[in-house]
Structure 1
């Protein structure tokens, strides 16, 4: 036991010295740290605007233009799924009259128009004709 006691006393005599170091506070500019935390928020808002808000705004304007330009004699589709031909356009109260069958007419709001199908058909026919013209011109050049 005397050997154990001597080892314990030797361990007690061994001391670890801890050097004291001076802690220097790092000075950060509060404005700079505020800006760095603001940059990601601005970037997120910009992405949100360009991916969601801006396209939605464009679609809304196109729809308003479509509704305001509806004319008598055009074939339309309402948001209720009714196809018909516009027989009367009322500018002052935003109403239209749509003939859905022979001598069957309904009144609807202009805002109920989803699509002017007569215009859509014209565009589809033009695209189809362009495709046919390209195929024909491609076959002739071969």
Structure 2
């Protein structure tokens, strides 16, 4: 009789171990990758700058005209601007190089436009 009681006490530890193992697997398979994707999206949205071509979560392509703390002004067509919240930017299609500023396309005094 004492032998049967000792064996039953060890079996009650197994379900607790299985539940702990299940939570561990769920953390590494679901929660941790989701946190990584969220950090990458936040980093991408914070690094957006003027001249970058982006896509919104609604599928609208545009070029970033200006950036604010919470909003991004997109030029969706020549002369047409739309304001979006930063989290509405899904991805950056083309990044503008840091030394290439779109407004800096002016001619210097050495360059003289010629007519052909």
TM range (shorter): 0.7 to 0.9
Unaligned runs of 5+ in 2: 96-116
Q: What CA distance in whole angstroms lies between the structure 1 residues aligned with 2:22 and 2:13?
A: 14
1:54 to 28, 32, 43: 32
Structure 1 segments of 4+ aligned residues over 6 angstroms from their partners: none
Unaligned runs of 5+ in 1: 1-23, 120-142
Q: Deviations over 1:50-81 (max 9, x none)?
A: 11111011000100111111111100000111
Pairing 1:107–2:94 present: no
TM-score (norm 1): 0.61
Q: When you count strand as a share of all residues, which structure comes out higher?
A: 2
Q: When you count helix as a share of all residues, which structure comes out higher?
A: 1
Q: CA RMSD in A?
A: 1.9
Using CA pairs under 8 Å that are at least 6 residues apart, name the structure with larger relative contact order, 1 or 2. Answer: 2
Q: What CA distance in whole angstroms lies between the structure 1 residues aligned with 2:48 and 2:9?
A: 55
State the structure with more CA Rg: 1
Q: Which moved more, 1:33-42 or 1:99-108?
A: 33-42
> Aligned pairs, how many?
95
Q: What CA distance in whole angstroms lies between the structure 2 residues aligned with 1:99 and 1:111?
A: 17
TM-score (norm 2): 0.74
Deviation of 1:31 (Å): 6.4
